Chain A
């Protein structure tokens, strides 16, 4: 069965620190990959997505993610975090042409001012 692993459950950083959140998935075929963010008290919003092409994807608010097919990974990065990046981040996988999305368990990021 498909699964998505997010290794870091809680991350605490100071402002201006660099961020990398890990995401690995277990499916050998073609996949669509997503990162969603959930700010406190809000619904999930799309940060970025990868379907095909350039494996380095840029999203909103300075976030980027790199798809490494050989490692089944789609790690999220940001060079310099801000206090406003405090949120929970979810990685998700979808098989093209299907209606089902598999979400990781999420990573809670706290950025200290």
Chain B
């Protein structure tokens, strides 16, 4: 039981390049989130999904796109990376309804550097 797995763990990009971060969960959770963590700014929500086939914008969605084609996977895409997107990205999940204790379950993070 792996929980929440993020790939890749580390990546260096050049400005303008594109890439996709994958979040995979084996807990059958409905809700999935992408956050970015920057020094002194805590965690900020980029996009989230409340179920397969649905996505919504968070507080800092610009420059990112997401997809949730399968319930267990939530992809975060950068179409044209910028240095301002250098950050640590965390995926998180939680279940719906009565199983939801409020706790978010986090992946181990993906450190992205854009040169």
Q: Given the complex of chains A and B, what is the CA–CA distance between A99 and B108 in angstroms?
A: 21
Give the residue name and chain of the B residue nearest to A94 (CB).
Answer: B102
Binds B, one of A11-19, A40-48, A66-74, A77-85: A40-48
- Sample 15 A-B pairs with CB under 8 A, ordered by A number: A9-B40, A34-B102, A34-B103, A36-B104, A43-B106, A44-B43, A44-B90, A44-B92, A44-B104, A46-B103, A92-B104, A99-B48, A100-B58, A101-B33, A103-B44
Which interface class (under 10, 10 to 19, 20 to 34, 35 or more) fits A? 20 to 34
Asked whether B42 is an interface residue with its Cβ less than 8 Å from the other chain, the reply is yes
Of A9, A92, A99, which is in contact with the most chain B CB atoms at under 10 Å from its CB?
A99
- Residues in chain A near residue B4, CB distance under 8 A: 43
- With known contacts A9-B40, A99-B48, A49–B106 Cβ distance under 8 A: no
Q: Given the complex of chains A and B, what is the CA–CA distance between A42 and B37 in angstroms?
A: 13
**What 0/1 readout, one digit per residue, does chain B (8-51) give for beta carbons within 8 Å of chain A?**
00000000000000000000000101010000111111001010
- Residues in chain A near residue B33, CB distance under 8 A: 99, 101
**A43 and B58 within 8 A (CB):** no
- Residues in chain B near residue A92, CB distance under 8 A: 104
Q: Which residues of A, 53-80, contact B by the 8 Å Cβ criterion?
A: none
Partner of A101, one of B40, B104, B107: B104
- Residues in chain A near residue B108, CB distance under 8 A: 42-43
- Residues in chain A near residue B50, CB distance under 8 A: 99
- Residues in chain B near residue A101, CB distance under 8 A: 33, 45, 104
- Residues in chain B near residue A99, CB distance under 8 A: 31, 33, 48, 50
